[in-house]
Structure 1
Amino acid sequence: MPVQTGRMTDLVGTDPQYDVFADDFLDHAENSLHNAHYDRPFCLELLGDVEGKTVLDVACGPGLYAEELVARGARVSGFDQSPRMIELSGQRVPSGEFRVHDLARPLDWIEDGSVDLVLFALALDYVDDRVAALRELRRVLRADGALVLSRLHPTGDWMRNGGSYFDERVIDEVFSRGWQVRHWFVPLEKTCEELHEAGFLIERLREPRPSPLAKDVNPETYRRLCREPAGFLAIRAVPDPRR
């Protein structure tokens, strides 16, 4: 989680920020409280039964979600901005299909309505044109499919950074092990409106609590996340049949 705030910028840009610390991120995220005992299990729960289904893992990182999905019987493909993340995903999940791709560009290798589920975990905040990206994800989903996304909780963002909660902006922060990243700070209303503009209906919106196992990893953080909206939130959205 972020531990320091920094200067504001106009755009996040397309630089693969996580590439320079991809291996360190894998070492951290595999068993960390926020990843292994908070976001990952909750996103997998919202996806539901994936047996025999085609899942697109957007911003797949080092393949930790993909590994779980394959173990549950899914057919997984994924992409990430970071070449090193794609290498790590391929090593971790040999049966998956992974490629380097920036979500700022169309998913031109994926046919309309060919994906059962899309997982978009903790990466929406790094996209400048989120509506365009979400429209592409809507395009590749089957009519009865679903998108599960997680993002930094906007209230937690606001608690850390101050200012107006409704002031959309890009900020620099230092995460976890000193990783410098840029991401968008936007209110929850904005995320809901962007999903609407992209052709989705929100089916569920959840503010997860860490799993009980997290208490043994970091008791203080566990207690904080159980009482404050300081971490993540997760949304399950479905294609709007009226559009």
Structure 2
Amino acid sequence: MPNDYDSIAEAYSAENETSLLNAYYERPAMLDLAGDVAGRRILDAGCGSGPLSAALRDRGAIMTGFDASAKMLELARQRLGDDVPLHLADLSSPLPFPDAAFDDVVASLVLHYLEDWTAPLAELRRVLAPGGRLLVSVNHPFADFLQAEPGTSYFATRSSSDEWTLGGHTALLTFWSRPLHAMADAFTGAGFRITAISEPAPAPSAREAFPEAFADRPSGKFLSFLFFVLQTD
């Protein structure tokens, strides 16, 4: 079954806690983009085992989360306790939330699992209050292109599958790549304004924790994910 995170949930969650790409790069970047979230109602779309929700809650946000993996949600409940409502749901169907229920939505490494962003973005915009923000991280389209098979067009929307083996279990994951202009068109077509596009450096402590990863990167930067801040009117 594609994108069956249930089978690797515990091992993936454990790796997520300390990995370069998650703990020292993607999560700090999302928190920096979120800024001051005290008192803001935030939906964590595709919350996984809840590390971003926990970090935002610690900064004073009022969190709600959903994920398509029941096992990931079990781990999130263990982390977050009963004060963060968590729902089994995914972006292929209408979300179980009323209109304008949230001030912000964070979609952390979620949209690149979807071929068509039209309905998911419409749902995320529906649940945002006027002036609300959608913070998105996705696989960087040019990094995807560099790793693609020879002859692949950067301008195509295309799928690729990968087997991840963690904790003695293997899951088949399918990702969708698309060029930057297609992402921008999807966001603006859904009624969002793009207020920031970010290609950040990892957290300063990453170099000390992973010296081998930076041996040939004197700038400390690399291509992996692309980040957007989107706003409703």
Deviation digits for residues 201-241 of structure 1 (CA, Å, limit 9, x no counterpart): 10000001111211123223345583442x101000001x3
**What is the letter of the counterpart of residue 156 of structure 2?**
D
What is the Cα deviation at residue 186 of structure 1? 0.8
* TM norm structure 2: 0.91
1:51/1:73 contact within 8 Å kept = yes
Matched, 1:233 2:226: yes
Alignment of structure 1 residues 161-180 onto 2, 5 Å: 161-162=148-149, 163-174=152-163, 177=166, 180=172
Which structure 2 residue ranges, 5 or more long, are not aligned? none
**Pairing partner for 1:103 from 72, 88, 91:** 91
Indicate how the Cα distance of structure 1 residues 187 and 175 shifts in structure 2: closer, same or farther if over 3 A, else same. Answer: farther
Identical positions, percent = 36
Give 3-state SS (helix, strand or coil) of 1:146's partner. Answer: strand
Query: Hey, what does 1:207 align to over in structure 2?
Result: 199
Query: Hey, what does 2:34 align to over in structure 1?
Result: 47
Query: Hey, what does 2:56 align to over in structure 1?
Result: 69
2:46/2:68 contact within 8 Å kept = yes
Instruction: Tell which deviates more after alignment, 176-185 or 138-147.
Output: 176-185
Superposition RMSD in Å: 1.8
For residues 104 and 182 of structure 1, the distance between their equivalents in structure 2, rounded to whole angstroms, comes to 15
* TM norm structure 1: 0.87
2:201/2:222 contact within 8 Å kept = no
Give 3-state SS (helix, strand or coil) of 2:147's partner. Answer: helix
Which structure 1 residue ranges, 5 or more long, are not aligned? 1-13
For residues 227 and 141 of structure 1, the distance between their equivalents in structure 2, rounded to whole angstroms, comes to 33
Give 3-state SS (helix, strand or coil) of 2:220's partner. Answer: helix
**Pairing partner for 1:136 from 120, 123, 128:** 123
Matched, 1:195 2:187: yes
2:113/2:174 contact within 8 Å kept = yes
> Which 4+ runs in 1 deviate beyond 3 A?
174-180, 222-228
**Pairing partner for 2:46 from 55, 59, 68:** 59
